[in-house]
Structure 1
Amino acid sequence: MDVIKQIQQAIVYIEDHLLEPFHLQALSDYVGLSPYHLDQSFKMIVGQSPTAYARSRRMTLAAQDIISGSSRLMDVAKKYHYNDTNDFANDFSDFHGVSPIQVNTKRDELKMQPRLYIKLSTTEKPPNAYRLEDTEGISLVGYAKFIDSDHLENPFKVPDFLEDLMENGNIKELQRYNDVNPHELFVVNCPLDEGVEIFIGVPSERYPSHLESRYLPDRQYAKFNLQGELDYVVNEAWYYIETSLQMTLPYEHNSLYVEVYPFDISFDDPFTKVQLWMPVDQEQYLNFD
């Protein structure tokens, strides 16, 4: 339930600051969620990212200002922090598909975004099953990638990273270091103050110098067994978790979470089996030196 409240707070904050430049980090600090989890939760609940929502609301208000005829185009551009009228006109046209000078003749084509409000609803759709499981600590070796808060909108961050590693032969290399159970590929998403670290690795007792190492400490996870296309299966599970499990599953929103994949990854197979581990208790994400 806390995340629903935080997303409501985020919407209020965005609405109160539409005449100011938007910064995901500032919004993150205000609502108390990491930029990564804020961006992800907002998209799952609202249907678009905080950045996209803020832009659509600004472009809507700008269109209303132009329609009213009370301000010159130059003044409207300055109001929304554009130093150049042409830059504003280009952004306006890119968003609405209509130039500022066409607004009054093509009002029906404007993409107006009303202010959003959140409400809870019931559903007849059966819930995704999960199990609570205490898991012993796991030592991992692999590759890490940091994504800053300005580049979190891409919903395919993990599949893209996996694909890069596959093309470079790194997944096969990691498989050779997977000398202890479980014999699977781990993806650890760790929210940080200014973005997220994605770590892809395997359980191992060896620590080669060219690979990075991480340690998943003993903790309890809610484990979901998923099946579907790699690009969408985890995002669909997240949507269910964010919209349906807020009041029943006390998972840690600002903690790491884990995805577990088979080594024979296929991006097109609708029957790919993936596990999603949601941390139930707050724990520390440890680095090996």
Structure 2
Amino acid sequence: MSGYSLGEYIRLRRLTLAGLELSDSSIKIIDAAVKYGYDSADSFARAFQAFHGLTPSEARRSGAALKAIPPMTFQLTIKGGTAMQYRIEDKQAFSIVGIKKRITLLFEGENSQVTSLGQSVTQKDIAELKALSNIEPQGMLSVSANFAERVAEGSELDQYLGVATTQQPDARWEVLPVAASTWAVFTTVGPFPKTVQDTWAQIYAEWLPGSGYELTGGPEMLWNESPDTSNPQYKSEIWIPVAKRK
């Protein structure tokens, strides 16, 4: 991985796999875009051409020259915790209700924009929002949605701080409708935010390619056990909407 940050490696590795699949199958370009973490065919095409030097359509031609980033071998040592755990859940439609801010994506370390968003909410606001929370995951959530490019560090997204609910909120709150979906839920235990960020790297580099599931492009939710993140055995849950790969 010499010369690349972890986030950049993941992005380029997925573009490598996209190139292989486009050159060797009849997958639609929009389907490849979603499968490899992009919200539109245009953003996928731009990233693909920047890496490979040709468009996704040109990659289908016989003899097209594609670039490749070799797979990374992970050696995971877990201290004081448990192995990466996940479960699959089906949920009916609901809404995320809370506050929203447009921020930039950061793969490592604390994101000051997310911290600032949390500091803008009063205890009265939190109590009001928690009263609306009536489905899992219960309580306050950090929700990421509407990514410009999901695997490009520094790209923009909508960040929500709120709750999952089927109740009707007051007009002062932002509302993000969430369609009925299948969710992959990953439990993390360890120092925050590093353990969560390391789990995200595993999800993209290891779990998604071999799981039989793909991202749907829907919002991603993070549940944390408490506002105090100093516990070295801090527990979180990552919720991502997925669909069976066709």
TM-score after normalising by structure 2: 0.59
The corresponding residue for 2:158 is 197
Alpha-carbon offset, residue 271 of structure 1: 2.2
Of 30, 33, 42, the match for 2:46: 30
Tell me the amino acid that sits aligned with residue 70 of structure 2: K
User: Equivalent residue of 2:243, what SS?
Assistant: coil
Q: Residues 230 and 266 of structure 1 are in contact (CA less than 8 Å); yes or no, is this contact kept in structure 2?
A: no
Q: Tell me the distance in 2 between the aligned counterparts of 1:232 and 1:29.
A: 31
Q: Structure 1: which 5+ runs fail to align?
A: 11-25, 33-116, 283-289
Q: Tell me the distance in 2 between the aligned counterparts of 1:185 and 1:241.
A: 23
- Kindly indicate whether structure 1 or structure 2 has the higher relative contact order, using CA contacts under 8 Å at least 6 residues apart: 2
The corresponding residue for 2:181 is 219
The residue correspondences of 1:80-229 to structure 2 (distance < 5 A) are 118-123=69-74, 125=76, 128-147=84-103, 151-153=104-106, 155=108, 156-157=110-111, 159-161=114-116, 163-165=118-120, 170-178=125-133, 180-182=134-136, 183-193=138-148, 195-204=156-165, 205-229=167-191
Which string of whole-angstrom CA distances, capped at 9 and with x for unpartnered residues, describes residues 104-144 of structure 1?
xxxxxxxxxxxxx7322445648622122212222231011
Q: Residues 191 and 256 of structure 1 are in contact (CA less than 8 Å); yes or no, is this contact kept in structure 2?
A: yes
Q: Structure 2: which 5+ runs fail to align?
A: 1-9, 20-41, 49-67, 78-82, 149-154
Identity over the aligned pairs, expressed in percent? 17
Tell me the amino acid that sits aligned with residue 120 of structure 1: P
Tell me the amino acid that sits aligned with residue 47 of structure 2: V
Q: Residues 255 and 279 of structure 1 are in contact (CA less than 8 Å); yes or no, is this contact kept in structure 2?
A: yes
Of 5, 9, 15, the match for 1:6: 15
Alpha-carbon offset, residue 254 of structure 1: 4.1
Q: Tell me the distance in 1 between the aligned counterparts of 2:206 and 2:72.
A: 9
The corresponding residue for 2:228 is 266
Q: How many residues align?
A: 179
Tell me the amino acid that sits aligned with residue 30 of structure 1: R
Q: Tell me the distance in 1 between the aligned counterparts of 2:232 and 2:13.
A: 31
Alpha-carbon offset, residue 189 of structure 1: 0.8
Tell me the amino acid that sits aligned with residue 13 of structure 2: I
The corresponding residue for 2:210 is 248
Alpha-carbon offset, residue 266 of structure 1: 1.0
Q: Residues 190 and 255 of structure 1 are in contact (CA less than 8 Å); yes or no, is this contact kept in structure 2?
A: yes
Aligned CA RMSD, in angstroms, stands at 3.6
Q: Residues 227 and 271 of structure 1 are in contact (CA less than 8 Å); yes or no, is this contact kept in structure 2?
A: yes
Tell me the amino acid that sits aligned with residue 136 of structure 1: Q
Alpha-carbon offset, residue 228 of structure 1: 2.3
Higher strand share: 2
Q: Tell me the distance in 1 between the aligned counterparts of 2:161 and 2:218.
A: 17
TM-score after normalising by structure 1: 0.51
Tell me the amino acid that sits aligned with residue 188 of structure 1: V
Which of these two proteins has the greater Rg computed from alpha carbons?
Answer: 1
Q: Tell me the distance in 2 between the aligned counterparts of 1:266 and 1:162.
A: 16
Which string of whole-angstrom CA distances, capped at 9 and with x for unpartnered residues, describes residues 9-61 of structure 1?
99xxxxxxxxxxxxxxx9865126xxxxxxxxxxxxxxxxxxxxxxxxxxxxx
User: Equivalent residue of 1:258, what SS?
Assistant: strand
